[in-house]
Structure 1
Amino acid sequence: MNAIVISGGPGSGKTTLLNALKSRGFNCSDEISRQLIQEQVNLNSENLPWKNLSSFAELALERMVEEYKKSLLLEEPTFFDRAIPDIIAYLKVGNIRVESQFNEALKNYKYQSNVFMAPPWEAIYINDNERWQTFEEATELYNMLTKTYQTAGYTLIELPSCSVEERVDFVLEKLEQNKSI
């Protein structure tokens, strides 16, 4: 399986890690949620996670399925900044019913069984235009993410709190151990 997920709570260094992997020549799918937030804000839309999480989640699911399908056309692995289980975890934290299309997508679009999880890391956590959560909320989401991925049958590999270069080396070493790349 060439679809490798890097997940974790907001502000835990996922995107920085993905950018470093990209700079080393790996295929990477940028975080769909961040892209959608920027697009929806520019459209002055209500389809934002803090205004209409259900509608936002549907947009994110559609875009994530598209990205997943694109990755299947490549021979090399693709690293994903979040994946379908993340949407489900966000809905659960928001106390919003997880509709059947999310569970169907979870069954139909499988990622590599080992998922890299970036734990909450307060020393690097910052808010920005797309990250509105407090550190405590980011930690709550991380806990739901781990539960959601484990319930879906994924094995979690916690990323160490270290430099981005060390994190890249850690990921590549773990993948080599599992013969994933």
Structure 2
Amino acid sequence: MGKTRTRWPVRTYSRVVPGASGRVLVVDDNKVIRQLIRVNLELEGFEVVTAADGAECLDVVHQVRPDVITLDVVMPRLDGLRTAARLRADARTSELPIVIVSACTQYEVESGLDVGVDAFLAKPFEPGELVRVVERLSERGRTTGGGGGRGGRDAGGSSGGDAAADPQAEADPADGVTDRTGHTDRAERSARTADA
């Protein structure tokens, strides 16, 4: 006779109503990475829309109206850094929180800071860290009015005192660019600078 195993049902649930945490536009040319990011954010209650490259992101961003955008750097047609620059140049998306999720070089990190990227998360990443970064930026966007335009932003797209617009945050791009978790948050760096 073979062994019999009793399997207890595994409870899987989200703590929040789907979409209640906000909406995220995930942009990556790798379908597996898009799916990994999507699943982890949906488990935390985010509504997730995906795009395969920067050009597709720019095509859908105004219809999707996300609270946060995650971007890979190396993608066909339009890479993540040029996509971020175009998002910052558009008044409707200029204050939208942007996270680069990529295996970035130091040059790419500095270029990202120059165009206004809010946070960096190095691949491979811990799913929990991804969720924390997106939650923090999503909450900051709602608190400062810089969310995806679904209720927090004024007609001009201004969010007032957003830390991403703080000139001191860009004073030293190497300050805090990477930490042991592999991510950088411009708001955290700005707060450290203010405390000094």
Normalised by the length of structure 1, the TM-score is 0.41
TM (norm. structure 2) is: 0.39
Larger Rg: 2
Greater percentage in helix: 1
